[in-house]
Amino acid sequence: MFNLILFGPPGSGKGTQSEKLIAKYNLKHLSTGDLLRSEISRKTALGLEAKKFMDKGQLVPDEVVIGMISSALDANPGAVGFLFDGFPRTAAQAEALDKLLELKNNSINVMLALDVTEEELVKRLVKRGETSGRTDDNNGNVIRTRIIEYHKKTSPVADHYRKANKVVLVKGEGSVDDIFKGLTKEIDARMKKS
């Protein structure tokens, strides 16, 4: 299996690049943001609980997202690999993911971290808010809270994988195709070895 984490702050382009990467490499896309929004639209108990946090720009509790990822891994036994998008987002989620993969005799091959300046992030999120229908992109305070949550809780996740020598920084500004090329170059180099 080839397991990849696409990492970066809100608005760094993880969703856009994930769509292209899963098509090229046939990976199973696991986006906790998409999974949570699907729970919300189906009005499940989990979705209603998660919505309270998401509307404020706060992270959803670890046990909720870890449970969702655990079920998704079990539901895809034949996958050639997974692309994790928006997960793990806390050190506790990273530790849980390592354990879940270990139970399946697997591990993370690489974390590709999209590098985008803060100024560009805010610009993109505000613009996305005009068209996406995502309420969390439509409010300056919510956007700010998401970026603060990212610095406080999510950036330590990169340290976790840096210790294991698995982090590669990739340029996240420029055209969608150029960024995609930067990502595929790193993946191709590692797929050969694995």
2 in Cβ contact with 55 (< 8 Å): no
59-88 footprint of ligand ADP as x/- string (CB under 6 A)? xx----x--------------------xx-
71: left (phi over 0), alpha (psi -120 to 50) or beta: alpha
- Counting beta carbons within 10 angstroms of the beta carbon of residue 8, is it exposed (0 to 12), middle (13 to 18) or buried (19 or more)? buried
Q: Is 53 in the site for ligand ADP (CB under 6 A)?
A: yes
- Which one is catalytic: 37, 56, 134, 153? 134
Report the distance separating Cα 40 and Cα 49, nearest Å: 9
The footprint of ligand ADP on this chain (CB under 6 A) covers a number of residues equal to 18
Among the listed residues 22, 27, 36, 158, the single contact to ligand ADP using CB under 6 A: 36
DSSP class per residue in 71-114: HHHHT-TT-S-EEEES---SHHHHHHHHHHHHHTT----EEEEE
Q: Which stretch binds ligand ADP (CB under 6 A): 58-66, 96-104, 105-113, 165-173?
A: 58-66
Q: Is the dihedral of CA 76, 77, 83, 84 positive or negative?
A: positive
- Is 99 labeled as catalytic in the residue annotation? no
| Of residues 119-138, those binding ligand ADP (CB under 6 A) | 136
**Nearest to ligand ADP of 127, 185 (CB atom):** 127
Q: How far is the CB of 149 from ligand ADP (least distance, A)?
A: 7
Q: Which of 64, 168, 72 is nearest to 111 (CA)?
A: 168
**Nearest to ligand ADP of 60, 179 (CB atom):** 60
Among the listed residues 11, 13, 172, 182, the single contact to ligand ADP using CB under 6 A: 11
Q: Is 182 in the site for ligand ADP (CB under 6 A)?
A: no
Q: For residue 120, give Cα distances in angstroms to 63, 104, 111, 150.
A: 32, 39, 22, 15
Q: Is 172 in the site for ligand ADP (CB under 6 A)?
A: no
Q: Which stretch binds ligand ADP (CB under 6 A): 29-37, 75-83, 112-120, 167-175?
A: 29-37
- Is 42 labeled as catalytic in the residue annotation? no
DSSP letter at 186 equals H
Q: Which of 28, 13, 27 is nearest to 114 (CA)?
A: 13
Q: Which residues bind ligand ADP (CB under 6 A)?
A: 10-11, 32-33, 36, 53-54, 57-60, 65, 86-87, 89, 93, 136, 146
